[in-house]
């Protein structure tokens, strides 16, 4: 078995029972093979970025996994499919969106996967929850760069 790697995954949904979809996905991340859910952020409500539709429910999870990055991506996409994810056009509203943000210190640039996620530093809905659980990974300047994007923490429960 490979050594475990720390990976960060952004979760979001804005169709159907979005809050429940994110909560279910958080639980399911911990059930993936060779993967342990280490911690996750609070849930946040955010306005859609570069798209329409209802507000999103977002979170970020930290996992420890012995899967490779492509294997982890396969599992994330399978969870999206189980949640009814469709991709009719870029940035379409979605029942569940799971993005692999960081995979240890790896830099991956393939047709299928880019790590670090290419737009993560432009999105408050990623940086704010990531900073909550891994503050060393997000600089004050990066947070300041997305300060104009509304991100509202939701009450626990």
Domain spans in the chain, listed from the N-terminal domain onward = 5-153
pTM: predicted TM-score of the whole model, two decimal places: 0.93
Q: pLDDT tens across 5-25, in order? A: 999 999 999 988 999 999 999
**Catalytic residue at 97?**
yes
**Catalytic residue at 85?**
yes
Q: Which of 74, 87, 94, 112 is catalytic?
A: 94
> Residue 86 has what pLDDT?
67
Q: Which of 39, 85, 87, 123 is catalytic?
A: 85
Sequential DSSP letters for the chain: -PPPEEEEEEEEE-SSSHHHHHHHHHHHHTTSTTEEEEEE---EEE--SSS-SSPEEEEEEEEEE-S-HHHHHHHHHHHHHHTT---SSTT---S-EEEEEEETT--EE-SS-EES-TTGGG-HHHHHHHHHH-GGGS-HHHHHHTTTS-EEEPPP-
Sorting pLDDT into bands at 50, 70 and 90, what band is 47?
confident
> Residue 1 has what pLDDT?
61
The fold adopted by the segment(s) 5-153 is Alpha-Beta Plaits (3.30.70)
Sorting pLDDT into bands at 50, 70 and 90, what band is 90?
low
In percent, the amount of the chain with pLDDT more than 70 equals 93
Out of 3-17, 45-59, 82-96, 127-141, which region has the weakest mean confidence (pLDDT)? Answer: 82-96
**Catalytic residue at 112?**
no
In the predicted model, what is the mean pLDDT of residues 122-151? Answer: 96
In the predicted model, what is the mean pLDDT of residues 126-131? Answer: 97
> Residue 48 has what pLDDT?
82
**Catalytic residue at 94?**
yes
């Amino acid at each position: 078995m490979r050594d475990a790697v720390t990976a960060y995954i952004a979760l979001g949904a804005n169709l159907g029972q979005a809050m429940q979809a994110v909560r279910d996905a958080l639980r399911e991340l911990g059930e993936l093979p060779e993967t342990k859910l280490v911690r996750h952020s609070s849930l946040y409500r955010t306005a859609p970025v570069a798209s329409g539709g209802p507000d999103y429910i977002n979170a970020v999870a930290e996992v420890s996994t012995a899967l490779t990055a492509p294997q982890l991506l396969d599992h994330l996409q399978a969870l999206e499919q189980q949640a009814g994810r469709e991709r009719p056009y870029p940035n379409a509203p979605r029942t569940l969106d799971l993005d692999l943000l960081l995979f240890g210190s790896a830099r991956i640039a393939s047709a299928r996967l880019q790590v670090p996620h290419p737009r993560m530093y432009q999105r408050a809905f990623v940086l704010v929850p990531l900073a909550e659980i891994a503050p060393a990974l997000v600089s004050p300047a990066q947070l300041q760069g997305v300060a104009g994007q509304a991100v509202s923490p939701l009450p626990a429960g």
